[in-house]
Chains A and B, each alone.
Chain A
């Protein structure tokens, strides 16, 4: 079997030019038997084309040796080893880089809009709003006690035109007609209370003007009380004024005892909020309630209504009883930094549609 197969009539293994060219790589790689090697060598020695081809192969091999020197950094190896996530695969499949600029911008705008809407939905705005209302510094309450003010006088003598007979008045929220007192308070500057006492007050024997909730004022800012008296009112009235001034100055004395304020926060679910809300507003006003925040009583909040108000503590049971006629009022007494005058309570009640 080792006998060489005669490829030609003369018994010579002469190769054609085509075969010789194809065997050049084998020849250079030394993969040919001796006879083939001689045949190819003979071809190369005579053929200019074979010489050029062999030179090309050598050049290609030399260039491949240079390419072999390309290396990969450790960082890239780690990057390749990191398994591809579905997100990455998705991005690659989307081929965002190949999208038209307009389409890309539209997509980005859409994603941003989705983000903004999500934030708007997720953030509890009503709680933030309540917090804002709760920390508002707009309402500063003081009260002059009618019982103390009246002294030995009867109640009827103290009632002024336009004053409600069955409600406890709030000097700081009133019209000022009763005693013509001007109370100017600012949270920015030292608190100043200016009393312009007229004859109505001056005529009262030993009028004792006090401010309820004095501790609250004292805790916030020092209070300066200025009493103005008309020149013609001097004499006995002047004496009364002096007494009033002395009495009014009393609350500004610092007290060591710190009082705790409270807030009544409640919710009630009723049927047909829109018809019940005016009834509540009417009842609260009837009981002497006043709005305490920046919104009106029965302010429409979402599908429900919102009541932030103050009311005499004595009227509280009546209010609860009335409100419970339309639903079940759930109310909690919370501690609050704002201290209300004695006998006055502050409430926040949210009325919601039943079943929502």
Chain B
């Protein structure tokens, strides 16, 4: 297991939980699960295994935390761009349906190919794009509501 895969898993839980301690704990568990899955499959699709591992751990932890209470800081090891405003994402993470939230993280933020995401989730590409479309509309709505977002649209 290389570091890039660990990074993907860590980022998934950062975006999904917005909580340092819980994200690190969940990422650690997902990493263990991922390694277990890799041992079982001789020629695995790592992207699919990452999605399956993160989804399995997400199902375990999602009931133990409350969305909309972010507890993260750069001190924990996340490198956030200085110009980035996390406000829209906090709003989105708090209010978006689970399937849309996860679809955006896997497909757009972790940039896992559409085929792998849809295969891992057992849905069609059209369904995945439908979720992404609805999610981006919400996320765009939140980001347009901030002053910085207006600048980004102009550019």
Contact = CB atoms under 8 A, between A and B. Distances in A.
A140 B130 CA distance: 99
Interface string A63-92: 110111111111111011111100000001
Interface string B114-139: 00000000000010011011111111
B144 A84 contact: no
A73 B79 CA distance: 7
B133 A83 contact: no
Interface residues of A, number: 37
Interface string A18-45: 0000111110010100000000000000
Contacts of B7: 71-72, 77
B140 A76 contact: no
A295 interface: no
Nearest to B136: A60
Contacts of B98: none
Interface string B37-49: 0000000000000
Given A80-B10, A80-B28, A92-B25, A72 B77 contact: yes
A98 to B, nearest CB: 11
A234 interface: no
> Per DSSP, are chain B's interface residues mostly helix, strand or loop, or mixed?
helix
A53 interface: yes
A195 to B, nearest CB: 80
A56 B141 contact: yes
A66 B142 CA distance: 14
A44 to B, nearest CB: 14
A69 B129 contact: no
B133 A22 contact: yes
A235 to B, nearest CB: 97
A67 B111 CA distance: 11
Contact of A25 (B15, B29, B133): B133
Contacts of B78: 70-73, 76
A57 B143 contact: no
Contacts, number: 134
Contacts of B152: 59, 62-63, 66
A61 interface: yes
A55 interface: yes
Nearest to A83: B32
B14 A70 contact: yes
A57 B11 contact: no
Nearest to A70: B80
Given A56-B144, A76-B10, A77-B6, A70 B136 contact: no
Nearest to A80: B27
B77 to A, nearest CB: 3
A131 to B, nearest CB: 49
A177 interface: no
Contact of B32 (A25, A29, A53, A84): A84
A68 B109 CA distance: 5
Contact of A57 (B14, B24, B28, B136): B136
B108 interface: yes
A59 B84 contact: no
B136 A72 contact: no
Given A56-B140, A67-B109, A80 B84 contact: no
A60 B77 contact: no
A70 B32 contact: no
CB-CB nearest 9 A-B residue pairs: A76-B77, A25-B133, A60-B140, A60-B136, A56-B140, A59-B140, A60-B139, A71-B79, A63-B143
30 contacts: A24-B133, A25-B130, A25-B132, A25-B136, A26-B133, A31-B129, A57-B133, A59-B139, A59-B141, A59-B149, A59-B153, A60-B138, A61-B108, A63-B143, A64-B104, A64-B139, A66-B81, A66-B84, A68-B111, A69-B84, A70-B79, A71-B79, A72-B14, A72-B77, A76-B77, A80-B28, A80-B31, A83-B32, A84-B28, A92-B25
Interface of A: 22-26, 29, 31, 53, 55-64, 66-77, 79-84, 92
Interface of B: 1, 3, 6-7, 9-11, 14-15, 24-25, 27-29, 31-32, 76-81, 83-84, 88-89, 104, 108-109, 111, 126, 129-130, 132-141, 143-144, 149, 152-153
